[in-house]
Amino acid sequence: MLMAFSSCFLLVLLQIFSSLLLSHAQDQSGFISLDCGSPKGSTFRERTTNLTYISDANFINTGIGRSIKQAYRTQFQQQAWNLRSFPQGIRNCYTLNLTTGDSTPFISALELRKLMNTTYLTQQGSLQNFIRADVGSTITQGFRYGIDVFDRVWTPFNFGNWSQISTNQTVNVNNDYQPPEIAMVTASIPTDPDEPMNITLVGVERTVRFYVFMHFAEIQELNANETREFNIMYNDKHIYGPFRPLNFTTSSVYTPTEVVADANGQYTFSLQRTGNSTLPPLLNAMEVYMVNLLSLQETERKEVDAMLNIKSSYGVTKIDWEGDPCVPRDYRWSGVNCSGIDNEIPKIISLNLSASGLTGEILEFISDLTNLEVLDLSNNSLTGSVPEFLANMETLKVINLSGNELNGSIPATLLDKGRRGSISLSIKGNTGLCSSNSCATTKKKKKTVIAPVAASLVSVFLIAAGIVTFLILKRKKRTKLGFNPNTGTTPLHSNSHHGYESPVIAKNRKLTYIDVVKITNNFERVLGRGGFGVVYYGVLDNEPVAVKILTESTALGYKQFKAEVELLLRVHHKDLTCLVGYCEEGEKMSLIYEFMANGDLREHLTGKRGPSVLTWEGRLRIAAESAQGLEYLHNGCKPQIVHRDIKTTNILLNEKFQAKLADFGLSRSFPLGTETHVSTVVAGTPGYLDPEYYRTNWLTEKSDVFSFGVVLLELVTNRPVIDQKRERPHIGEWVGLMLSRGDITSIVDPKLQGDFDPNTIWKVVETAMTCLNPSSARRPTMTQVVMDLKECLNMEMARNMGSRMTDSTNDSSIEISMNFTTELNPGAR
């Protein structure tokens, strides 16, 4: 099993629990418990759960092991004392061999558990825990392994309209699900025995589907004239019953198909007593799982093995060459391109290892890539001959072997394919390589020219020296005129604007002005206006797009146009807006982006997008995603990129409210080398502008950190960045003043109505104020900011999780609109 930590998630437990119950040891066969970041070879038994943990060092080749401070260790179990951070790259993978069975992220522990293959079955996708409730619990803490044989984590749940009952007798839990006995010896019943037990799932998106598992056991001694019998209903439809719980024996009732909402957006289960029942219904435990559709299939094992063999034999050290080469699609291995769409097995169709420092011969493992169309091994130090198997790979269309040290004859079959045009073969720069007919002649000629060459070496050297001097002078002159010494070419575009070269862009992304007119339906719908120009709504290939038109052709405008195009063509990240295409016809210039249906962050904070309010969890998610995009620019791009215009209007939201950074017209790349800053004309937006950059003209990535700190304060306060009516006009100074008075509640956006964890508010404000430090050296990196925000987001999500399963009589229940399409036929176990 190959596990990639990126945008893909598998069924693993990535949780830290600081308060668990003590228990006796149980069988751990089939368990994999890794203490991430601990020294190689280390092992320990965690004292509260008796789980044995080993180092993760043998399961991953990337990342850096770290330890938390000694002072904090008493708050956590031992597996949380170390961690593995991933400051480099956007894809870091664990490779795990499992038994076939019946935005810098970090991880402290990785835990996989083996379940019975008769349980938790789905028709599609995987299951993600939504709630696992010990109903009627008499304890206040959650529990897991030692009490639960499968190490499921249970949370106590009691509702205001229910009463709790319990027993001191033993309850048999030996069915396939084996719920813990501590959960089954307690239960809840309705306080009013004539009322049903209603359970409504709330706080979920429209498209969510569930599987539900209920565990029952009769835990009261019933008299001969007493009966407990009830039906299980879902959204007023009968799905199971009449059902009578077994005396002190567990029965599990589950939904074999997905649960969806009805036409009114309800997810409501109801246990209703029958006319024959003298006692109300009861419920001991309940599990609810969301369906997580993982539509991408794994790459074929043969191709994965081939790539791993190529990596090992050539000693390839690319940081993202871990896990599955093609999956997730947005994080495939660099230099690798794959075919296939959702629900299809991906196939490797292109392998580019140009300039990768390869030595030795061309490996036969390449022939195992049976769907390969393009192979680029150029500009390495490969030796030996061109192998025959390349000619026998039927799908190959392009082979680039130029710039190596190959020798001998090229296979006749390969030469023939090249002559017929069925394959494109590049071999220039391999001085020892020749066609089969000319090899003998070439060798003979070499022998005859050795003596004359040796005799004239001195004169040749003198002539060469003169030529080199001439070429150096010529290169300097041609470079000034736009000549590229690396490619030996001058710019192809002659229609430069105001002295700036046209950017080099993939041809398939270039559109004509007529195309732009058609896409926008003759510029029918305006989405917004900015300093660059007007943004219009458009449709390209049946997909909505945003078309930004340069309305004023100036040197500054074209420079920003050029900078934005060139940057977006070389950076790709899920938290950055995606460039779909561009148009450049004389003075008519435009950029075509993916359409962000929910506008910018500022519109939502100010209420311009309607009366709905961004929740604190939603704001934290937007902050974390934006921070990940900015962290990628700073650390994931070579050379490093500074955005220079981070603000709430440049954080856009798509239809799922995923945040993406936009507007890269002011962005700057740092030159390669040891420079820590660039000296440049100050640019940015007042209020967000780094005062140190403004004062010194020295631009660093910490200038973006300052701007992002301002954004964080806007998310907390929903106040203007500059307000001359305030005692301190700038938002950072005003918040600092309020904090000095110990008054944090007065700065929080009143629209949140107190629905937040104060600890996360403090943490975000603390992070923001650190970002606003006048000295750039004392500001955190974006990697640190991402870590802080993810910690806050996890805390807020955990707080909200407790309110996601409620009695449907509670007025705070949230209705979700979805069409009811599935009939349910639960079975009992």
Residues serving a catalytic function are 645
CA 750 to chain CA mean position, Å: 32
Per-residue tokens: 528? 């917004």
- Nearest CA to 390 out of 380, 381, 377 is that of 377
Please report the sign of the dihedral spanned by the C-alpha atoms of residue 307, residue 309, residue 313, residue 318.
positive
Q: What are phi and psi of 246, to 5 degrees?
A: -75, 145
State how beta strands 347-352 and 374-376 pair.
Answer: parallel
How is 366-407 classified by DSSP, letter by letter? Answer: GGG-TT--EEE--SSEE-SPPPTHHHH-TT--EEE--SS--E
Q: 461-467 contacts: CB < 8 A, separation 24 or more? A: none
Alpha-carbon torsion, ordered 122, 125, 131, 132, to 10 deg:
40
End-to-end CA distance of the chain: 31
Torsion sign across C-alpha atoms 158, 233, 800, 797: positive
List all residues 6 or more positions away from 295 whose beta carbon is below 8 Å from its beta carbon.
Answer: 342, 343
SS3 648: helix
Residues β-bridged to residue 669 = 641
In 388-456, which residue ranges form alpha helices assigned H by DSSP? 389-392, 412-420, 439-455
114 is in an annotated binding site: no
Rounded Cα distance, 544 and 526, in Å: 13
Please give the backbone phi and psi of residue 807, each rounded to the nearest 5 degrees, phi first: -65, 130
Dihedral in degrees, nearest 10, Cα atoms 570, 783, 356, 491:
20
Nearest Cα to Cα of residue 339 among 351, 348, 327, 331: 348
Cα dihedral 525, 529, 531, 532, rounded to 10, equals -10
The two structure tokens encoding residue 827: 């079975």
Alpha-carbon distance of 212 to 339, in angstroms, equals 37
Residues of the binding site for ATP: 548
